[in-house]
Chain A
Amino acid sequence: MDRNQLQRQVALKRSFLFEQCYLDPQQFVQLEELQDDANPNFVEEIVTLFYKDSARLFQKIEQALYSRPIDFAKLDDYMHQFKGSTSSIGAIKVKNECSQFKEFCLAANADGCVRALERVKQEHQTLRIHLENYFQLRRQAGLVQRV
């Protein structure tokens, strides 16, 4: 596949991510605008950081969810932190599932929280795969500077 075709693929993938509401274009474009010669991979870096930090927060959330009695305030707090991160990278679908989870926390509904957490993780993982694919396409299309 030639470079133009690859670049078209990148553009298509990007459009897909926006149209399907995986990513908030305004926030994602803002992240892209922060890239420059000195920081060419900022978007990928912050996404990587997001996934690394997510693992830490999921662990805390799960621990809180499976301890008895459940501290719903703490659960809500952890999810609030995670939700903030999703907002910072523009991960809409994940963020929406976080909101659902928080609703269940408010209602002190443990079962609801368990189900909602599953959905959060599903969306989180789906996005991860899409983004990894996107960054790989960018690399292949020669759009990424090698440091």
Chain B
Amino acid sequence: MGMAATDSQFHVLAVDDSVIDRKLIERLLKSSSYQVTTVDSGSKALEFLGLYEDDQSSSDSPSVSPNNQQEVGVNLVITDYCMPGMTGYDLLRKIKESSSLRNIPVVIMSSENVPSRINRCLEEGAEEFFLKPVRLSDLSRLRPHLMKAKSNNQNQEKQEDESESSETQSQEQEHHELEQQQQPQLQLQPIPPNSNKRKAVEEGFSPDRTRPIYSGIATLV
């Protein structure tokens, strides 16, 4: 593909108040060759991302420690929705409201299939909404968002970099076009019907396994 980065360079920050779910998501992500940091709350996640809300006078623009952000290098945040204190939705909002963090893709996880909740998160800028328990097959949906964010970052850097090779110029064009196609968040995207296939209910297990396939779509079920 021509990308210099390998999967091991993608660093995912996983946020969940459940110790079991943290262990599970960590193993899932590491299995998929991601670097993982887990925290048990939204506030700890913001701390890790270098977003401090100590500036009382302008609470709309919390201060970010830029050095911390570069050192930490989080490429994606995956967070549980239902958490005490700061919910996953609150965390999502704070990330998207931050000028330095808003480009980090955010994925929400929830044990409940609530369409209004899903829509709210997608409209607030979440890239994906995963129903728990999260499976390995779900994680394959992370890659496009990571690659896009990476190419966005690279484009920003390239604009400042004078010494471009012709190869990277054509790559840039490619990614720029890709970017434009994916720009509208609520655009319908065809999802292969076989993704997230579940075994039939024949074995007599709980039927609440239907998993809405949301990828940048706001749909009412």
Contacts and interface: CB of A to CB of B under 8 A. Distances in A.
Q: Do A and B interact with each other, yes or no?
A: yes
Interface residues of B, number: 23
Interface in B81-116: 82, 111
A18 B205 CA distance: 9
Interface string B135-155: 110000000000000000000
A30 B135 contact: yes
Contact of A80 (B82, B203, B204): B82
Contact of A39 (B27, B111, B132): B27
Contacts of A30: 133, 135-136
A88 interface: yes
Interface in A5-63: 18-19, 21, 24-27, 30-31, 33-34, 36, 39, 42, 45-46, 49-50, 53
B24 A88 contact: yes
Contacts of A88: 18, 20-21, 24, 132-133
A85 B20 contact: yes
A89 B20 contact: yes
A88 B7 CA distance: 26
Interface of B: 17-21, 23-24, 27-28, 31, 82, 111, 132-133, 135-136, 198-199, 203-206, 209
Nearest to B110: A84
B132 A21 contact: no
Given A34-B31, A39-B27, A84-B111, A27 B20 contact: no
A65 interface: no
Query: Chain A contact residues (Cβ within 8 angstroms of B): what range?
Result: 20 to 34
Contacts of A53: 18-20
Nearest to B20: A85
Contact of A96 (B27, B133, B198, B206): B206
